[in-house]
Chain A
Amino acid sequence: DTEVTQTPKHLVMGMTNKKSLKCEQHMGHRAMYWYKQKAKKPPELMFVYSYEKLSINESVPSRFSPECPNSSLLNLHLHALQPEDSALYLCASSQDIPGTSGRGAYEQYFGPGTRLTVT
C-alpha cells in the first residue's frame, strides 16, 4: 500500500467554524507533513512530524493546529480561518525526515489533498 489518503476531498467553511482535515498512511512511514498550495504555486511546507512529534512549524498562524494521534494519522485542526486561507491542503509522508537516513528515505508520498474554501 503506497497510498496517502485525505478526507474530506472538499471543504467549505465559514470564518467562525471549526473543522479538521485528516490524513492517513499505512506504509510505516515515520515522517508526515502538511503543505498548503495556492493555485499555480508550488506546495509550501507548514508542519513536519517525525515519530509523532512536531519537528518543524514554518511559522504557521495558530488558527492552524496540527495533531498526530499515532504513526499512521495526521490531523489539521482549523479554527477562525480567513478567506486567504482558501487553498489545497496536501498531506505527505516519508520513511524518515531528510537528513537522518540514507538514500530513498526522503521520497515523500503525497495525498490527493483537501480543497478548502473559506467564506
Chain B
Amino acid sequence: GESVGLHLPTLSVQEGDNSIINCAYSNSASDYFIWYKQESGKGPQFIIDIRSNMDKRQGQRVTVLLNKTVKHLSLQIAATQPGDSAVYFCADLTGTASKLTFGTGTRLQVTL
C-alpha cells in the first residue's frame, strides 16, 4: 500500500450500526487477502481472509467482499461494538511472492 500522509482515513460509526471499511489493491496477480485489526498499543490481529477464487466470505459478525474486476476489498462489521474501535488494515499476497503487502489502514471509531 501507499501512505497518504500522517492522517489515517477515519470512519465513525454509531454503536449497533453496520460498518463498511474499504480497501483498494493494485496488484492484479494478488490471490490471497487478509484483514487485520490493530488496537492501540497492540500488534495486528487476524480477522478474516479470502482467496481470489471467492467473492465473499463470512465470519462471526464480519464479512469480506472481494471484487477482482475493480481490485476492491471490503470488510463489513455487523452491529458494531465499542470493542471494534481500532485501525483496520487489508493485506494482499501473490502466490509467487512470499510477503504480505499492507494497505494504508482505516481507523474505526465507534460512538455511543
- Answer yes or no: B104 CB below 8 A from chain A CBs: yes
0 or 1 for each of A20-59: is its CB under 8 Å from B? (1 = yes): 0000000000000000000111111100101000011010
* Contacts A90-B43, A106-B100, A110-B36 supplied; 17 other A-B pairs, CB < 8 Å: A39-B6, A41-B104, A41-B105, A42-B103, A44-B102, A48-B98, A56-B98, A56-B99, A98-B98, A99-B97, A103-B51, A107-B49, A108-B34, A109-B46, A110-B44, A112-B41, A113-B42
**Complex formed: what's the CA distance from A78 to B99 in Å?**
23
**Complex formed: what's the CA distance from A53 to B36 in Å?**
26
**Interface residue tally for chain B (C-beta within 8 Å):** 28
Chain A residues with CB under 8 Å of B7's CB are 40
Chain A residues with CB under 8 Å of B32's CB are 98, 106
* Closest-CB distance, B60 to chain A (whole angstroms): 16
> Residue B104 contacts which of A42, A92, A109 (CB distance < 8 angstroms)?
A42
0 or 1 for each of A92-119: is its CB under 8 Å from B? (1 = yes): 1000011110010011111111000000
B6, B42, B44: which has the most chain A beta carbons within 10 Å?
B44
- Answer yes or no: B21 CB below 8 A from chain A CBs: no
- Answer yes or no: B28 CB below 8 A from chain A CBs: no
Binding site for A on B (CB under 8 A): 1, 3, 6-8, 32, 34, 36, 41-46, 49, 51, 89, 93, 95-100, 102-105
Q: Are A110 and B98 in contact (CB under 8 A)?
A: no
**Complex formed: what's the CA distance from A109 to B3 in Å?**
23
A45's nearest neighbour on chain B, judged by CB, is B99
Q: Are A113 and B43 in contact (CB under 8 A)?
A: yes
B7, B96, B98: which has the most chain A beta carbons within 10 Å?
B98
> Residue B97 contacts which of A92, A98, A112 (CB distance < 8 angstroms)?
A98
> Residue B49 contacts which of A44, A48, A106 (CB distance < 8 angstroms)?
A106
> Residue B34 contacts which of A42, A90, A97, A106 (CB distance < 8 angstroms)?
A106
A-B contact pairs, 8 of them (CB 8 A): A41-B3, A48-B98, A97-B98, A98-B32, A98-B100, A99-B93, A108-B34, A111-B43
Chain B residues with CB under 8 Å of A41's CB are 3, 104-105
